[in-house]
A and B are shown apart, each in its own frame.
Chain A
Amino acid sequence: GAVVSQHPSRVICKSGTSVKIECRSLDFQATTMFWYRQFPKQSLMLMATSNEGSKATYEQGVEKDKFLINHASLTLSTLTVTSAHPEDSSFYICSARASGGAFNEQFFGPGTRLTVL
């Protein structure tokens, strides 16, 4: 149980294009989903928290107009990187949690490696 998928696993795009990443909880309903970014040999950086049906809460320094997050259902959240540039190249990972309680675990998707040329 507790499987989270992400699509695509890898994407290469030209500078200026937009890229959409999907995150799905396959066998549970995810009240909350988190989006992280990880640069090589660095720690996970939380970008934003999204709750189903609500606007996402972004961490300080993350541009909400550049990283659009939609959590339209209890099993799907999307992250759109708008007008991507080479500095946006990174490993993007989503995670999902069944409810907002303190004791609930979050489960990670396999990640999406974005390369912007």
Chain B
Amino acid sequence: QKEVEQNSGPLSVPEGAIASLNCTYSDRVSQSFFWYRQYSGKSPELIMSIYSNGDKEDGRFTAQLNKASQYVSLLIRDSQPSDSATYLCAVNIGGGSYIPTFGRGTSLIVHP
């Protein structure tokens, strides 16, 4: 079964620190990777997408992809209490229909 794995956490970091969220996936032919943020009681919100090996930066967020290691991560710099949420990693599994497969999510707590 094709899977996306995330540590459920919670990951607790102090305000201003860098939060590092990790995700591994099992399907070697996966081509597209996404990070979503979900606040409690709300639906997921797209933060970043990444398709090529390396880093992709958008404001305080950096996504990192290593296809050889089947690993994708999200770094949040200068973490704020408002970043406290569950972060979902999603991978479009190949095979034609590209059904998105989600990890269980990592709970992030940024404390003042």
Contacts and interface: CB of A to CB of B under 8 A. Distances in A.
Interface of A: 34, 43-44, 46, 49, 57, 91, 93, 100-111
**Chain B at the A interface: SS class:** loop
A103 B97 contact: no
Interface of B: 31-32, 34, 36, 41-46, 49, 51, 88, 92, 94, 96-100, 102-105
A111 B43 contact: yes
**Chain A at the B interface: SS class:** loop
Contacts of B92: 102-103
B43 A100 contact: no
Contacts of B43: 93, 108-111
B94 A44 contact: no
B37 to A, nearest CB: 11
7 contacts: A102-B31, A102-B98, A105-B46, A106-B46, A107-B46, A108-B44, A110-B43
Contacts of B98: 100-102, 104
Given A44-B88, A110-B43, A102 B32 contact: yes
Nearest to B29: A102
Given A103-B51, A105-B34, A108-B44, A44 B99 contact: no
A35 B2 CA distance: 19
